[in-house]
Amino acid sequence: MTTLKLGRCFSRTAPSLARCITTGSTTGQDYGVGSSRSLQLDNPRIMITGSLGQLGQGLAKVLRNKYGRDNVIMSDIVKAPKHIHDMGPYLFADILDFKNLQEIIVNEGVDWMFHFSALLSAIGEHDVPLAIKVNIQGLHNVMELAKMYSLKLFIPSTIGAFGPESPKNPTPDFTIQRPKTIYGVAKVHAELLGEYYYHRFGVDFRSLRLPGVISGDTVPGGGTTDYACSIFDHALTQPDPFQCYLRPDTRLPMIYIDDCLRAIVEMMEVPAADLRMRTYNIAGLSFTPQELTEEVKRYIPNLEVSYRPDGRQEIADSWPQVFDDTNARNDWGWAHRYDMDKLVDIMFQVVTQRLGIRPMHKGSASAGR
């Protein structure tokens, strides 16, 4: 465990900080869901960790439109491009540095936190020690700070939180979870720790198990489901066949990013009393690489795809094929809007705009190929 040098009144481990900070009553009822401040805010101060990734930038835009530009603080550990700074507040935040996070929460008056900092599935398998630091140690810092400062906390979970022993079609909310990646192990840990902090300390922890998230706004980040994003860039710019690292019949749950972001915001706004669980499955659609390829060919008929499974195939084989999100639909009215047709249509619109090429229409011969 990383130790922290935080002055004479603090012990060397982060959890002991709670003894040195005046937060009013220290009973569980004064944290998280027991805090009237966290429940009644019309314009909460919001912090997003790992905000330069696939979800963070889109969520910041949605939240700023809803709660105000200056009330949403993006953060990450790298220098952000100019357009990010132009959009609103951006800060350096290292989730492994407890004091750094603490200073931001106190100085900026943070009320809600969306914790997106993590190494994804395939990347984590190449550097397990780093994944443990970022995905588990960072989680511990965030969870303790949520308890100390009565934060409403969202931490995404994943299809990777399940393993080969889990039922695959459909996969319910409550079933055996024995993931075989460090990413999945860390997510199960987050689910259980968040539920514990909710019951033990009243922390308003919320989580959604996300399918593979499909987005055309940013470059894919190395996840096992990212072929479903990469195929669009490749089809529009490369003449050679697209190499897919999964078998053509590998079915996985997916969701378009607009549906995903809407689900996250909707869940955060649901009154705590209406949530029967702290972690829910959400689903959009499920498809295979071969099925997606056929849909992409509606735009680019001469697209060719070769299938060369690599280490990500083993990961995908351990994951659900179809998510059962009945509880989310019943408890807080979740419903996806993008089916396969709408997904492919919007992806070509977004990717062509990002690449600066002419818009595509169904049946086009090629573009940049």
Could you give the CA distance from residue 242 to residue 56 in angstroms, rounded to a whole number? 28
The one-letter amino acid code at 153 reads L
Tell me: cis bond preceding 129? Omega within 30 of 0 counts.
no
Extract the tokens encoding 56: 């963070």
HSE, CB side, 13 Å, CA atoms: give it for residue 301: 5
The answer to whether 54 and 221 are in contact (CB under 8 A) is yes
Cα 56 to chain centroid, rounded: 8
Terminal Cα distance for the chain, rounded:
51
Buried b (16+ CB within 10 A) or exposed e, 220-257: bbebbbbbbbebbbbbbeeeeebebbbbeebbbbbbbb
User: Active-site residue among 67, 183, 307, 338?
Assistant: 183
| Cα–Cα dist 286/53, whole Å | 23
Cβ contacts of residue 135 below 8 Å, gap of 6+?
118, 119, 124, 182, 183, 186, 187
Grouping H, G, I as helix, E, B as strand and the rest as coil, residue 110 is coil
Rounded CA gap, 184 and 163, in Å?
Answer: 8
Q: Who contacts 136 (Cβ-Cβ below 8 Å, separation ≥6)?
A: 186, 189
Q: Does residue 183 have an active-site annotation?
A: yes
Residues 6+ apart with CB under 8 A from 315: 121, 122, 125, 160, 180, 181, 224
The first and second tokens of residue 148, run together, are 């100390």
Q: Which residues are catalytic?
A: 183
